[in-house]
Structure 1
């Protein structure tokens, strides 16, 4: 929890908004897992934490080929514990990338990328190619596909071509962010739903006739503001600045206030991990428990990524 012992020098900055977590100073140390979760070593690969709560580099295994069920079970446990896993020196092709991703569930077929990201060749692989003609625009914190009834469970992102410097990706731990909210804020949001939609993001970059065709297939959806992860019971914030339209059950002003507060809080560096890409690097993250942000600081250099996502389930909130 946040520290109650705030130095006097900071109080003038904090006291005007005592419930706004942006103004909290001092230690921000969250649990990596739910209270009481058993901590066990990893025996089938090496794991090196990158921050106290989120991000770990895995070494000692190859993602191509036939991974045993025991290795997959340990990787799943690591994913639940660390939210995003990094693998270096994985010289795999698109078929091997697809094979690894398919071990985790049904592969997602994104309906909008063929309109907004030219050059797509496979329905289940999103190629994110950015260069001097198309600078990156993914530099907003978000979970993927929350506009869908079944948002992505996870994603596997493979570096195809990276700039010599820049183009990092960041992830933020939305479970740690939830845990370190003031108790009164948690009480306000614990049972609230929010509306998510694609119309103000992907819809803005698509031809009008395509939007009209797809609108009936992908109507706005409602998800809990606080999502519960079924495998762990962990509570996470499940609103993001790209796809969340508004919080329901409160006034427009209160919705705007809460969303601004939560977005600022999620962006605190204490909840983040940052990956500097190298050739043949792969990132595998739990889209339910973290948001990500692609730093768009490499223009006009070229950056090409292949992303394969795994279909998720319907988000569940806190039981009454």
Structure 2
């Protein structure tokens, strides 16, 4: 009789409760590093030491100042597709060597909105003690305001503060995989507008920005793009440059974009790198967002970046 009584015991009444809609919730995450049909193969030209579950790996056993053979370039590209961001310790590359390494992946691009280093296609981020932190400490994908955003970037730290100054990357394929089904359905086939002004207007005057309005008119990209080499679906909106989803009412566009921007904040989708002078990071700008932590004032942090021109997202 006790078992029967227990089985029909009424469900206890709970007080009214709710969590605001469209947030990030706890629970199991789908963490796929590569597409389901991807064939893992060993690496015989260097060692791979994973740092994150779905992205981020240190590459050991290479001197990037030396020329890359076609076989080595092919294995590094496979590692980039599998891990999305590769780290190389203590390389101490000259600007010329950094440019030569990046050029194995395509034409180098310039960015007239940022300060240059030893060449016009080397961007220099020199954050001195009295400098105002700008541009980096927000989750973003580089130059999505271009019709053909950068394929990737090679960043080297020239000077590192005694503490702080880490950089984080987020896997936007994992971010897409974990969206609620109703959101995936709503953004299927949607396109969004990207503009350089929101990301730069906080730090530049109208007089500084106006000359670039014709150079960089607003562009549209898919909200969900396909990776041209792996075929994976990835979120392709970011808080620096994405202004609205085309065809959505403004209130709905803002709501959906806020939800999509939040996905980069999930720790399971992230890797964090602590820099030493001369370290290199090479990331797939098509598949990731990144965030440079501005927690090192009053110390100085100096980095140089070379970006590789990309394709038109689809």
| Fold shared per TM-score above 0.5 | yes
- C-alpha distance in structure 1 between counterparts of 2:255 and 2:165, whole Å: 31
| 1:293 equivalent in structure 2 | 291
| 2:131 equivalent in structure 1 | 134
Residue 79 (str. 1) matches residue 73 (str. 2)? no
| 2:8 equivalent in structure 1 | none
| 1:50 equivalent in structure 2 | 51
| 1:100 equivalent in structure 2 | 101
Residue 220 (str. 1) matches residue 233 (str. 2)? no
- C-alpha distance in structure 2 between counterparts of 1:300 and 1:95, whole Å: 30
Q: 2:225 aligns to what SS in structure 1?
A: strand
Residue 167 (str. 1) matches residue 165 (str. 2)? yes
Q: 2:304 aligns to what SS in structure 1?
A: strand
| 2:34 equivalent in structure 1 | 33
TM-score (norm: length of structure 1): 0.90
| 2:7 equivalent in structure 1 | none
- C-alpha distance in structure 2 between counterparts of 1:112 and 1:185, whole Å: 34
| 2:199 equivalent in structure 1 | 201
Deviations 1:28-53 (A, max 9, x none): 13211111111111111000111110
Q: C-alpha root-mean-square deviation of aligned residues, in Å?
A: 1.7
- C-alpha distance in structure 2 between counterparts of 1:311 and 1:12, whole Å: 50
Deviations 1:71-130 (A, max 9, x none): 11000001011000000021211111111011110001102114xxxx645210000000
Matches within 5 A, 1:52-71: 52-71=53-72
Larger Cα Rg: Structure 1 or Structure 2? 2
- C-alpha distance in structure 2 between counterparts of 1:94 and 1:122, whole Å: 8
| 1:22 equivalent in structure 2 | 24
Give the C-alpha shift of residue 279 in structure 1: 1.2
| 2:275 equivalent in structure 1 | 277
| 1:123 equivalent in structure 2 | 120
Alpha carbons of structure 1 residues 46 and 121: separation in structure 2 relative to 1, 3 Å = closer
Q: Can you give the 5+ residue segments of structure 1 that lack an aligned partner in the other structure? A: 1-8
Q: 1:103 aligns to what SS in structure 2?
A: helix
Give the C-alpha shift of residue 212 in structure 1: 2.6
TM-score (norm: length of structure 2): 0.91
- C-alpha distance in structure 2 between counterparts of 1:42 and 1:231, whole Å: 19
- C-alpha distance in structure 1 between counterparts of 2:182 and 2:231, whole Å: 21
Matches within 5 A, 1:234-253: 234-253=232-251
Q: 2:109 aligns to what SS in structure 1?
A: coil
Following TM superposition, the consecutive aligned residue runs of length 4 or more in structure 1 with deviations greater than 6 angstroms are: none
